[in-house]
Amino acid sequence: MVRAAIPARERLIFALDVADADAARRLSDTLGDAVVFYKLGLELATSGGYFELLDWLVGRGKRVFVDLKFFDVPATVAAAVRNLRNRGITFATVHGNQAIMEAAAAAAGDVGILAVTVLTSLDRGDLDDLGFACDVERLVLSRARRALEAGCAGVVSSGLETKLLRAGVDDRLIVVTPGIRPVENRPADDQKRVVSVDEAFANGADYIVVGRPIRAAADPRAAAEAIQAAIGRIFPGG
């Protein structure tokens, strides 16, 4: 079972969504050893210095998740994924149909490909707008099964659907859960399908992705350590 092999402090992935690479380095220095695993997304990719930052983090012993949600013709996605190999990258995301997922998985090498199921910023009404004539749970389960068939390492899925995935999909599939919010104080933001740290892992997540609750805290390091402490209680000795 994949979950047992993950060190507890690596289960927290911090979404390093800041304006530029310099700000990212400063925040990483502030967080210190409170964060082991970082997610680098689109904002940093378009601000310059993305791969220099990635190499800097890897050089400091950090794990890195490249969250660029590749979505293009399969050959282009495969070429992009190949460019990520042998850089110390743990995960990269793709967002697309079976051919795109298969192309990414075939080109992945040492990079674990995560297929996005349904963004946590989308709800039933948003799916209607996009033309999906099914409920969120059915769509997540279908995409997760197809991701496993395509050779992906795992999926990105809301914690609300993780229990369903664990019941309906092979347990080898890694589940990374974003949209983590404190249960007692969930702010109004663009995340609609959210869960707490405890809920995410109780439902079967392998990793959680946390951004604002750490980044916007008065003391980001203390906020990260509080989440690490919660994870440590869930996975004692991990």
Domain at 140, CATH number: 3.20.20.70
Q: Write out the residue range of the structural domain in which residue 24 sits.
A: 10-218
The residues annotated as belonging to the active site are 69
Mean pLDDT for the chain?
87
Q: Check pLDDT > 80 for residue 102.
A: yes
pLDDT of 121-144, one tens digit each?
445 454 455 455 556 677 778 888
Banded model confidence at residue 40, pLDDT cuts 50, 70, 90: very high
pLDDT at residue 165, as a whole number: 86
Residue 9: per-residue pLDDT: 97
pLDDT, one tens digit per residue, over 165-204 is: 888 887 888 999 998 866 444 444 444 446 899 999 999 9
Asked if residue 34 belongs to a domain, the reply is yes
What pLDDT score does 141 carry?
85
- The answer to whether the Cα torsion of 26, 64, 156, 175 is positive or negative is negative
Residue 65, in any domain of the structure: yes
Residue owning tokens 């999926």: 155
In a domain, 235, yes or no: no
CA distance 92 to 69: 8
* Residue 226, in any domain of the structure: no
| Residue 146: burial class (beta carbons within 10 Å; 0-12, 13-18, 19+) | middle
